[in-house]
């Protein structure tokens, strides 16, 4: 039985789109993104290494460098976690004492109706934490399992991305029709991922610039010097590379540090960050839209639909999936 080129292309579309959509409910999005990231990094590093090492060995060296970087990063994270746990074991009340000091400092600056919700002592706080853990034990277990699953899928995705990057790409004339069509689909997907990643770097730089101006210029103008300003600016850039959730994490850290000075500094920091991110929300869509030739409202609509269907993973996947869909429609000359 002979299939027409249009039927082969349609079959490849169904296979790729079904796989992309199934990655969300099956919780394989981290694996997919990690694999694409490693694949792209290897392809970016290889041309720069080829003047030093010719041939396929340049790709092997790129994979080796990335693997070493991942291992070192994971080792540092695990060592840091162990160091933190050991410190807490030796000084179990140190962090609690610091927290209660913040509470006492904030108590005199809060309205009376909020002050009643604050713990009166460290002992009362310990009891409240214990009761909360007991009532949410099953939820905490699910969160732990989810984090372990995400960690494993990330590693598997990175390994698969490295393996695919090391494969020799056969001549297009030697491929079967469906294999050639699938390769074309995946090439467009990789290109869409690359465009979104570079756009996210621009977004992170923009966010870091606004936050740095606030922390290093605006606050000192009012004689407010936030502790760890340089560290917070660096963390804002690194966390900003994570779509959506990264900004939430950096905002939380800045607000907590602001709370160490006063509740009003924390409120001002939080208010500023909220206003800035409301403006950035539309600038982000414009930046990403410039990379994939999409208008702001298209990306906002895609993120809204994917968030409604799949939750937070849908927000992360929405721009990438839409960029790929738009490239397919342009390839077919439908838009």
Which pLDDT score, from 0 to 100, does residue 5 have? 80
Find the range with the poorest average confidence among 10-24, 267-281, 307-321.
267-281
Burial 8-21 (b: 16+ CB within 10 A, else e): bbeebeeebeeebe
Mean pLDDT of 28-48: 83
Which pLDDT score, from 0 to 100, does residue 289 have? 61
Helices (H), the chain: 5-23, 29-49, 57-90, 94-107, 112-115, 122-135, 137-166, 177-213, 219-221, 229-240, 245-259, 263-292, 296-310, 312-331
Q: Is the pLDDT of residue 134 over 50?
A: yes
Mean pLDDT of 247-264: 76
Burial 133-158 (b: 16+ CB within 10 A, else e): eeeeeeeeeeeeeeeeebeebbeebb
């Amino acid at each position: 039985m002979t299939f027409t080129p249009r039927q082969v292309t349609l079959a490849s579309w169904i296979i790729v789109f079904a796989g992309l959509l199934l990655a969300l409910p099956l919780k394989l999005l981290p694996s997919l993104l990690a694999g694409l990231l490693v694949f792209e990094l290897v392809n970016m590093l290889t041309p720069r290494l080829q003047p030093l090492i010719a041939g396929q060995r340049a790709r092997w060296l790129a994979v080796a460098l990335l693997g070493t970087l991942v291992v070192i990063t994971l080792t540092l994270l695990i060592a840091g976690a162990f160091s933190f746990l050991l410190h807490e074991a030796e000084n179990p009340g140190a962090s609690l004492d610091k927290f209660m000091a913040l509470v006492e400092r904030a108590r005199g600056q809060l309205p009376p109706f909020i002050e009643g919700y604050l713990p009166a002592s460290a002992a009362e706080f310990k009891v409240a934490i214990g009761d909360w853990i007991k009532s949410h034990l099953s939820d905490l277990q699910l969160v732990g399992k989810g984090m372990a699953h995400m960690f494993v899928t990330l590693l598997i995705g990175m390994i698969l991305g490295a393996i695919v990057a090391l494969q020799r790409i056969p001549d297009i004339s030697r491929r079967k029709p469906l294999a050639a069509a699938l390769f074309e689909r995946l090439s467009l997907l990789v290109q869409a991922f690359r465009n979104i990643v570079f756009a996210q770097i621009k977004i992170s730089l923009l966010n870091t610039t606004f936050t740095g101006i606030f922390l290093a210029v605006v606050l000192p103008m009012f004689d407010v010097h936030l502790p760890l300003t340089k560290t917070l600016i660096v963390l804002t850039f690194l966390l900003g590379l994570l779509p959506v959730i990264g900004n939430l994490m950096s905002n939380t850290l800045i607000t907590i540090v602001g709370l160490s000075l006063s509740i009003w500094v924390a409120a001002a920091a939080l208010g500023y960050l909220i206003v800035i991110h409301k403006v950035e929300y539309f600038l982000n869509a414009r930046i990403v839209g410039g990379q994939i030739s999409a208008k702001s409202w298209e990306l906002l609509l895609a993120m809204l639909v994917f968030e409604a269907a799949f939750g937070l993973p849908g927000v992360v996947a929405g721009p990438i999936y839409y960029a790929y869909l738009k490239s397919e429609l342009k390839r077919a000359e439908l838009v």
